[in-house]
């Protein structure tokens, strides 16, 4: 959940879309492993080839095909990094006193919402690696066959507990898991 560590540069959509009388209870955070993965890719694919380019140039072993390959790797690394960061900055998973909201989109916007009174069951998805690194995702099933899937989030058990508590406070108990 958002602890105010500069995760959001702009005011989150979930906050902007709150009607009168509704409060934000939780805003999921992304796992640190995802950010480290993005930065690792940038260093390995984006920066390392540039150092290789300068090193080969310094010892006069740089050829045009090698320069093109190294520059292409650097561009690919930068593009992958920017795509991951754009996804992280434009994807939200929030819980309010009335609903659960997932918002995605860089240029367009796609939102999926489920009222708390419609929530029937919550499924937690975590692989062994996800448990070790403290991330996972939730599938929330609602009445009428509705289904809402969270993005990969940090501390999914805590977010699930927050949903359980919000449903209980709204006077709606979830079915057995």
Q: What is the 3-state secondary structure (H, E, C) of 19-61?
A: CCCCCEEEECCCCHHHHHHHHHHHHHHHHHHHHHHHHHHHCCC
Share of the chain above pLDDT 90, in %: 78
Pair (81, 122) in one structural domain: no
Task: Please tell me which residue, 8 or 162, carries the higher pLDDT value.
Answer: 162
Counts of helices then strands in the chain (DSSP H, E)? 6, 8
Flag whether 141 is in a domain.
Answer: yes
Flag whether 79 is in a domain.
Answer: yes
Q: Is 104 helix (H, G, I), strand (E, B) or coil?
A: strand
- Report the C-alpha gap between 22 and 96 in whole angstroms: 7
Number of domains in the chain: 2
Pair (62, 100) in one structural domain: no
- Report the C-alpha gap between 9 and 90 in whole angstroms: 10
Q: Which residue, among 33, 51, 40, 49, has the nearest Cα to 152 in the 3D structure? A: 33
Mean pLDDT of 156-167: 95
Mean pLDDT of 109-124: 94
Q: Domain range for residue 146?
A: 93-169
18-53 pLDDT, tens digit each: 999 999 999 999 999 999 999 999 999 999 999 999
Look at residue 10 in the predicted model and tell me its pLDDT.
Answer: 54
Flag whether 24 is in a domain.
Answer: no
Mean pLDDT, the chain, whole residue set = 89
Using the predicted structure, report yes or no on whether residue 100 has a pLDDT greater than 60.
yes
Using the predicted structure, report yes or no on whether residue 125 has a pLDDT greater than 80.
yes
| Banded pLDDT at 175 (limits 50, 70, 90) | low
Look at residue 53 in the predicted model and tell me its pLDDT.
Answer: 94
Look at residue 96 in the predicted model and tell me its pLDDT.
Answer: 94
Flag whether 12 is in a domain.
Answer: no
Q: Are 122 and 148 in contact (CB under 8 A)?
A: no
Pair (68, 132) in one structural domain: no
Q: Are 152 and 92 in contact (CB under 8 A)?
A: no
**How far out from the chain centre does Cα 130 lie?**
14
Q: Are 121 and 141 in contact (CB under 8 A)?
A: yes
Pair (65, 104) in one structural domain: no
Flag whether 7 is in a domain.
Answer: no
Share of the chain above pLDDT 70, in %: 92
Q: Could you give phi then psi for residue 175, rounded to 5 degrees?
A: -70, 165
Look at residue 3 in the predicted model and tell me its pLDDT.
Answer: 45
């Amino acid at each position: 959940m958002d602890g105010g560590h500069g995760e959001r540069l702009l005011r989150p959509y979930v906050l902007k879309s709150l009607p009168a009388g509704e409060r934000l209870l939780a805003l999921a955070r992304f796992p640190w492993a995802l950010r480290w993965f993005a930065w690792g890719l940038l260093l390995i694919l984006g920066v390392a080839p540039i150092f290789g380019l300068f090193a080969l140039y310094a010892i006069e072993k740089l050829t045009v095909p090698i320069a093109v390959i190294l520059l292409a790797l650097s561009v690919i690394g930068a593009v992958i990094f920017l795509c991951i960061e754009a996804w992280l900055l434009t994807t939200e998973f929030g819980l309010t006193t009335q609903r659960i909201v997932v918002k995605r989109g860089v240029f367009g916007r796609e939102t999926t919402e489920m009222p708390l009174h419609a929530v029937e069951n919550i499924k937690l998805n975590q692989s062994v690696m996800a448990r070790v690194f403290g991330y996972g995702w939730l599938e929330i099933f609602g009445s009428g066959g509705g289904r809402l899937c969270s993005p990969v989030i940090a501390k999914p058990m805590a977010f699930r507990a927050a949903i359980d508590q919000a449903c209980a406070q709204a006077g709606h108990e979830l079915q057995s898991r």
